[in-house]
Each structure stands twice: as structure tokens, then as C-alpha cells.
Amino acid sequence: MTDRIEIRDLMVRAIVGINDDERINRQDVVINLTIWLDFRAAGRSDNIDDTINYRTLTKQVIELVEGSSFFLVEKLAGEIASLGLGFSEAIERIRVSVEKPGAIRFARSVGVTIERTRGDES
């Protein structure tokens, strides 16, 4: 499947990290999502019911991230992927990238990217 929705550079504040200050102070995380689903029906109908409402999904991602308190960005990325796959049966695959800008000295950011397909959410 080559049809996809891309949500780029979603900046959210979260508690994430293993250091003492990261457990107290919210920090910026940048999230990128690539969501694969079939657009053919939506392309024919021009009806939101034949695709996903990515605004609603984005709001749910923001709510998850802002309310989380994970130690690892790997865990955060996995939870976002699970949320995405659970959002709609139409979503076949999701790629989630989570970056922490400035987390490493001399690096613009550090992050992880994961990809999950329906059926391998665990």
C-alpha cells in the first residue's frame, strides 16, 4: 500500500527520560507519523467517513504524550503506534518517530523510529 498520511513535526511537551530533571520538568518532543491506509474510497466519495480524521488522531496523540511519564522514548513511540493502530481498522501500518531536541550535547536531537503493522502491535 502506498497511500499514506504524514503528520510532521508535531511538538508536544512531555515527561520522558531517566535523569532526575527529566522526571520533573517537561521537555519538548517532536513526533512524526506516517500512516498507511487505502484512500481509494475517499478519493471517489470525497467523504471523511471513507478515510480517517487525522485531526482527531493528532489530538489523541497529544493527549497521550502530555499525560505520559515514560522513562524511554522507545516506550513512548510504542504507545503512540498502538494508539494509531487502535484508532481505526482502516490503518494498515504506522511509522512513529519521536525525537528529543537538545538531549545530547552537540546534537540537534536524538530519537527513535518504529514501524508497526496491524497484527503485530504487541
55 domain-assigned: yes
Point out the residues that are catalytic: 100
50 domain-assigned: yes
Domain of residue 51: give its range: 4-117
What is residue 121's predicted lDDT score, i.e. its pLDDT?
Answer: 54
Number of domains in the chain: 1
What is residue 122's predicted lDDT score, i.e. its pLDDT?
Answer: 53
CA-to-CA distance for 103 and 111, rounded, in angstroms?
Answer: 9
70 domain-assigned: yes
58 domain-assigned: yes
CATH code of the domain in which 61 resides: 3.30.1130.10
CA-to-CA distance for 86 and 80, rounded, in angstroms?
Answer: 10
Would you write out the chain's pLDDT as a tens digit for each of its 122 residues?
689 999 999 999 999 999 999 999 999 999 999 999 999 999 999 999 999 999 999 999 999 999 999 999 999 999 999 999 999 999 999 999 999 998 888 989 999 999 999 987 55
Q: By the 8 A CB rule, do 112 and 98 touch?
A: yes
122 domain-assigned: no
97 domain-assigned: yes
> Within a 10 A sphere around the Cβ of 113, how many other Cβ atoms?
12
Question: Nearest 5 degrees, angle CA 35-CA 39-CA 41?
Answer: 145
pTM of the full predicted structure?
0.94
